[in-house]
Structure 1
Amino acid sequence: MQQSTNYKLGAFCMAACLSISAPQAHALEGGTSAYLLGSRDSFAGIVPGAGTYVGMDFITFSGSIAGLSLGGLPIAADTDVDVNLIKLSFTHVFGSTLWGGTPALNLNIPILDADIGFQAISGPLAGDDISDETSGIGDITITPMVGWHSGMLHYSAGLSIFVPTGSYSTASVDIPGRSIDALSNGKNIWSIQPVLSMTHFNPKTGREFSGATSFLFSENNEATDYQTAPAFTLEATAMQHLPSGWAFGGSGYWYEQLKDDSGTGADNTRAALGVDSLRSRAFGLGPIITYSDEMFGRPVSFKLKYYKEFGVKRRFESDVLWFNATMTF
């Protein structure tokens, strides 16, 4: 296909976002993980030629959960969350060889605006509609990676490092004001995520199959003594690319915690919610559309995707709408 190179370059930049910090909004302290599910999709396994790739993501999602822990405060009530995210992504691919492959470095900077709401069902605020909101820079992510190519098969290995740069504070309750201060911009923990990604792309037919598997490990949140258990994520995407630069397909993911959370914070959350386990799980599925072309003499790519989550347990069950624009320099 004549535009296969543009597909690879543009779509890689979108896929090279690789990871994104989520707001500290159970299992899963805060109802979300450090990694935003569905970040790896089309051309996830491709590391292109040397250059700098700059992307911007606009993400909005809303979800609900039946009880969670926020900033060390167990909330035994149905809770709704709405989040708007702008993410700046910078990827530099080096003009050198490492372990027989192409090395690259990615940086993600999320800027978020989030709010939650629930009706208190116990304690001094029982019966009141409670809400909280926050905005600002979240936890940034740094991902070194190396990519290899073998005919129509492309694969890469990376390590995402989630840095606790977002502001964080434990929850406080204002009884006279009938309110709480529980949301933070960051998760107050370091996390790492080794990831393996692969793409099979046939430039003659335009068919693409991409997938990524990763494991997320987080340190203990000392402010709340909450240890989020390791989690496994599998993401997959199938696309049909057209000579016009458009591509259509579907994308999905499976997220599963490998064991239960631990620590005093997790014990208190289990007791408050009256549950035996906080292990979380989620599935997501939805359509994806991309378009690759040139603008101002530079390769540019656009992507729009939507995820509907189902089978969710002990984390926010969300609807996610995601738009990305990426340019190569």
Structure 2
Amino acid sequence: MATSISNFRTNCAGRMGMFASSIVLLCCSHPTESAERGLSSYLPAYYGDFAVAIAPKPGFYAYATYYGYEANFKPQGAVGKLDLNVSAFITGFQYVFPEKLANISFAVGGYTAIIDARLHGVLSTQDGSLTVEQNKIQHGDTSISPLIMYWSSGNWHVNVYEAVFLPTGTFDAADSLNLSRNYFSFDTVAALTWLDRQSGLEVSLVPGLMMNTQNEATNYLTGPEFHIDAMVNVFLAKNFALGLHGYAYMQIAGDELNGQNVPSSLSRSNGIGPSLLWVPDTAGVNGKVVAKWLHDLDGENRFQGDIFSLTGVVQF
């Protein structure tokens, strides 16, 4: 089933969440209010692909990802929309330790990203009109997972980790387009995989709960966020699989500005799309290639659009 590296990007995903999903703070009639509701440190459909909770073989894994995002945002109470176009290039790693404790495997990982983003559009409110046209190419925020754990029993596999999002990118509260969230996020994630190696059928769930600190530049606090990714995959051959992946996201508490609740700040979204796994049959190389497309079906107070990603992973 080529599972030795098939879940590698899943755990990097928790660490990668902010690189593109935290791209914009939108300026409206009240810049700090509508802005931070559009995006979060959670990146839809990036928390799993194939055999997500199965421990990779011990060793060092390096990956490179192209991530494209085409989406728009329609704030409540405004006429018009803002369009977001993103091309991000991510490099990261994961190291799986050879030692085990009580049948538990351990790993660490991290990533960095270069982001090319364009925000453009026109919004009108009762307070006036706003035209936005900005483009930036910058280094994004950083994410690490200092402790990743795997456990398996028969066809069942569990993966638990904490993703810590660090605001290492550049932020300007007066700017319409920012490639950093400018706050810390802590995402507690538990992935569950059922894989029947005889039939090649896999079902995985990856729920997580994200807590955020306050953006000190805007005094804005994004409320707690619940998210879950779901995957149904079929391995048609040892080195080839197809999947149908989906996600659901919702805030479970509203945002705060200057310590006061922000009305109508709860956000939600969901989407679905296909994915493909190919494990190159090259002598001496343990790697994989994953392609994915995800389309947002519904949402509120969120950017909505299409995600395209292509990832290559190599074990050293």
Give me the TM-score of the superposition, normalised by structure 1: 0.85
Indicate the residue corresponding to 1:225 in structure 2: 219
Indicate the residue corresponding to 1:63 in structure 2: 71
Indicate the residue corresponding to 2:46 in structure 1: 39
Indicate the residue corresponding to 1:103 in structure 2: 106
- For residues 188-239 of structure 1, what are the alpha-carbon distances to aligned partners after superposition, in whole Å with 9 as ceiling and x for unaligned? 1011001000111111111111111100111011110111000101111011
After TM superposition, which residue ranges in structure 1, 4 or more long, deviate above 4 angstroms?
A: 74-77, 122-125
- For residues 79-116 of structure 1, what are the alpha-carbon distances to aligned partners after superposition, in whole Å with 9 as ceiling and x for unaligned? 11111111112000011124540110010212111111
SS at match of 2:47: coil
Q: For 2:132 and 2:36, locate their aligned partners in 1 and report how far apart those are by CA, in whole Å.
A: 19
**Change over 3 Å in CA distance of 1:124–1:135 after alignment to 2:** farther
**Change over 3 Å in CA distance of 1:95–1:27 after alignment to 2:** farther
Indicate the residue corresponding to 2:27 in structure 1: none
Structure 1 residue 120: Cα displacement = 4.4
Indicate the residue corresponding to 1:247 in structure 2: 241
Is there any run of 5+ residues in structure 1 with no aligned partner, and where? Answer: 69-73, 172-180, 271-275
Indicate the residue corresponding to 2:134 in structure 1: 132
Q: How many residues align?
A: 302
One-letter code of the match for 1:327?
A: V
Is there any run of 5+ residues in structure 2 with no aligned partner, and where? Answer: 25-32
**1:163 aligns to 2:166 (yes or no):** yes
SS at match of 1:18: helix
Structure 1 residue 153: Cα displacement = 1.2
Structure 1 residue 296: Cα displacement = 5.2
Structure 1 residue 12: Cα displacement = 1.7
Contact 1:28 1:314 in 2 (8 A): no
Larger radius of gyration: 1
Indicate the residue corresponding to 1:119 in structure 2: 122
Contact 2:78 2:124 in 1 (8 A): no
Indicate the residue corresponding to 1:175 in structure 2: none
Indicate the residue corresponding to 1:282 in structure 2: 269
SS at match of 1:223: coil
Q: For 1:140 and 1:101, locate their aligned partners in 2 and report how far apart those are by CA, in whole Å.
A: 27
Q: For 2:62 and 2:306, locate their aligned partners in 1 and report how far apart those are by CA, in whole Å.
A: 26
Query: Which range moves more in the overlay, 114-123 or 131-140?
Result: 114-123
One-letter code of the match for 1:24?
A: I
Identity %: 24
Indicate the residue corresponding to 2:208 in structure 1: 214
One-letter code of the match for 1:13?
A: F
SS at match of 2:7: helix
Structure 1 residue 18: Cα displacement = 2.5
Structure 1 residue 123: Cα displacement = 9.2
SS at match of 2:13: coil
Contact 1:190 1:219 in 2 (8 A): yes
Indicate the residue corresponding to 1:84 in structure 2: 87
Structure 1 residue 295: Cα displacement = 3.2
**Change over 3 Å in CA distance of 1:30–1:265 after alignment to 2:** farther
SS at match of 2:124: coil
Q: For 1:54 and 1:16, locate their aligned partners in 2 and report how far apart those are by CA, in whole Å.
A: 13
Contact 2:34 2:75 in 1 (8 A): no
Alignment of structure 1 residues 317-328 onto 2, 5 Å:
317-328=304-315
Structure 1 residue 76: Cα displacement = 6.9
**1:13 aligns to 2:8 (yes or no):** yes
SS at match of 1:279: coil
Q: For 2:200 and 2:66, locate their aligned partners in 1 and report how far apart those are by CA, in whole Å.
A: 27
Query: Which range moves more in the overlay, 114-123 or 234-243?
Result: 114-123
Q: For 1:80 and 1:207, locate their aligned partners in 2 and report how far apart those are by CA, in whole Å.
A: 38
Q: For 1:155 and 1:300, locate their aligned partners in 2 and report how far apart those are by CA, in whole Å.
A: 22
